[in-house]
Amino acid sequence: MLDKSNKHLFVADLGIDKISIYPFDPDTGNIDVAGVRQIPCQPGAGPRHIVLAPDEKFLYAIHELNSTISCYQYDNFTGNYNEIHSVSTLPDEFRDPNTCAEIMIHPSGKYLYGSNRGHDSIAVYSRDSKHGLLNLIEIVPTGGQNPRNFTLSPDGKYLLAANQGSNNIVSFRLDPGTGKLQKLDHILEIPTPVCLLFS
């Protein structure tokens, strides 16, 4: 993932439990490997995907292996991101195997979404734009199995969940006032969907 300036490339590395930030030259496409900075994640967490807040003061990582989302705050003095907050993506009573996949922030910056494979759901959070903290709103079934990916429409009114295990894409209406999701009747049957993009 690139930041807005296109000068920093962020890489979530599950194997080393770190997020690497490389200096990037947008004119040449070159990556400065020697200039890399790394953000340590919790041991065994397995960072999978990351997203920056609209103001880029906060970075969020969804961890595949321990089913959490962590928030990292940018330090103007050191130029690094430091973990300040971590939340579970699962209900307290859920004990079955689960791995996390996708993470996205609503275009308004008010809400954050993450997917569970195993629980087969989307966790919905409100986001404190000043402090970066997340508060769980709801956890919604995706209407299928193994939601490896999902995406938000550019206008922020819909969420589409790609259920890889059940071969379908399920649509949800998104309430911009609450962040909550409402499952729609429109379901697209498609073999093994793994990535959704709006063009």
Q: Does some domain include residue 199? A: no
| Joined tokens for residue 147 | 């939601």
Residues of the chain with pLDDT under 50: none
Q: From CA 118, how far away is CA 94, in angstroms rounded?
A: 10
Q: Does some domain include residue 21? A: yes
pLDDT value of residue 6:
95
pLDDT value of residue 78:
82
Q: Does some domain include residue 2? A: no
Range of the domain at 145: 8-152
Looking at the 3D structure of the chain, how many domains does it have? 1
| Joined tokens for residue 136 | 């769980």
| Joined tokens for residue 91 | 């209900």
Q: What secondary structure letter does DSSP report for 31? A: B
Q: Does some domain include residue 93? A: yes
User: Which contiguous run of DSSP H or E holds residue 73?
Assistant: strand 68-74
Three-point CA angle 175, 166, 94, nearest 5°? 65
**CATH number of the domain residue 79 falls in:** 2.130.10.10
Taking only Cα atoms into account, the Rg of the chain, rounded to an integer number of angstroms, comes to 17
Q: Does some domain include residue 20? A: yes
The mean pLDDT of the chain is: 97
Q: What secondary structure letter does DSSP report for 28? A: T
